[in-house]
Amino acid sequence: REDYLRFQSTACQTIVDGRGTGRVVESLIPSNKKDLMLRPARKEDVYIYYDWVNDPVVRTNALNSEYISLETHMTWFDKSLSDSDTFMFVLELQGLPVGQVRFELQEDEAIINYSLDQLVRGRGWGSELVSLGARMLDNIRPSVIQARVKSENKPSAAIFMRLGFDEQLLAGGVRIFRLP
């Protein structure tokens, strides 16, 4: 019985997160880009990250487009939060999470991954998210940033080119961008 209640509680948190009012307000009265703030990810962000990672647009643009189970995600999230070579940040508007950016250090580079909540897509905030994240990472651990983008993901490629990333090579349908 206790395991069942715990399971139900977890399942409900993936559907209802208590931020519906904030989303409605943001939808009706869109915020200005200058109100965006980046903060480190926290343990309680696990469910919003889960929603973002399984968003159909995110899955389509991800190098691995398979659906990610809650159990797999929770294991990955806990491991990533405690990994000294992973830096995870949440983009917020007045306390409402609207995106994420993550850097995973591999050898001498930081691999970037980012996504925006569907509520704020199309506002041109991808560049702002990547830029804020790059500055945050530079303050913590300066690194060469590498982005890996599917060749058909033109919006992400445009963001990296706009921000001064150099396109290095195209391998197996993946474009590689680097920001020294």
Both tokens of 173, joined, read 């349908």
Q: Is the pLDDT of residue 13 over 60?
A: no
Q: How far apart are CA 160 and CA 174, in angstroms?
A: 14
pLDDT at 168: 85
- Is 90 exceeded by the pLDDT of residue 149? yes
Two tokens at 67? 């659906």
Sign for the pseudo-dihedral over CA of 47, 51, 54, 60: negative
Tens-digit pLDDT profile for residues 105-135: 998 899 999 999 999 999 989 999 999 999 9
Residue 9 pLDDT greater than 90, yes or no: no
pLDDT of 15 reads 44
User: Would the pTM of this model clear 0.75, i.e. be above it?
Assistant: yes
How confident is the model at residue 52, as a pLDDT?
96
Write the CB contacts of 21 (distance below 8 Å, at least 6 apart in sequence): none
